[in-house]
Structure 1
């Protein structure tokens, strides 16, 4: 049977929740971390998942390790698919440590990145410099995502510090503030050493910040994604998602998996 372009799934089957936004989304954004995809794999990723993918982070400080033509091709393909693509915040931390921030920005703009991550997960970045970096990104036309939290094992959330970070970052133009969980999702931020969510800390965070829409939760593990959505709803922003898990995460958001099937039957 030939599939024709006018065929469409019944909306109650495609999205039982009836609430999923089309791109460009303001709710329920998904960020994927690219830890070394080749160009063919990257193209496959977009061909299968571009409708469900909002942001791609070129992980850590890997950006200068690619052949430049390949990295540029990735950036161009992502932007053509309506995706924000940016280097990992660790790379900007390297630039700060090496006193090469201007050179970093020059290359980010020359290559065509349309996003910027500002973090202090490994080094200390003073508030004044953080403000300057956010503002510089905004003035260069980049979508700025910041990050709160240290990458060290056992690091936790300091509530007063988080409130200040979210409030000031947003005032200076950051679109989202990421809650650090690394690519492992264990022993960092709101997750314990087994990767389980520390609900008491989560509730403290939510009671203190200006708005949930400002937060991007790094949640690389399926049980974390399910738990956060069951607590906060399917419209939360989620990050550090594996490139293999985008479709399965979208199914969770829409109530198309047993874990979240109830999302499609709830009356708001």
Structure 2
């Protein structure tokens, strides 16, 4: 798919990976529908994309709410005529051990609330946005691309029962959608980032960062731009579908 003048929706676009994706695609001439729940961050991201000379519109929406997602894609259709691509990037973390005990005494458990919040946003939100984008593409006879953001944590990671389960689900949905939607000219692929340097990791203690980087074969965290470049690659490579690309510095060699 040629990116120039294509309408691309990005969730979680106000900061971090989503903002890097937006700026990378804006530099390629894409028309952008940026989605986030943080109005201030979203406004700044839209403004930065517009400075690159492209059309960019911001949309506040809770992607875990079916009605809001349906309304979101209806609004995008009204404004742009429909989407050519979707990047399902929005996500949250609520880390915690399944059970925490000392000397056989249970001190804490992963709450159902923290489990459900992560599943709602990181899995159900991807499902809802992917469904609406695909329906719009099919109805308009508009071939397109859906890119989902999974994680290397999908293979299991301590303290992340909820996040790992959601990201494993995202990877499985990606393959399923690739098989189901190919007949309509729609490709689906996913990216599984490793440790990426964001505002969240920047707040970590230097010794923690050093320990993390020592376990990465390339001895450094990735940059948001590395993930954005991978989104661009997936969009442009018309023979790539049904695959999860691990961008992790060789962490899972």
Same fold (TM over 0.5): no
For normalisation by structure 2, the TM-score amounts to 0.38
For normalisation by structure 1, the TM-score amounts to 0.37
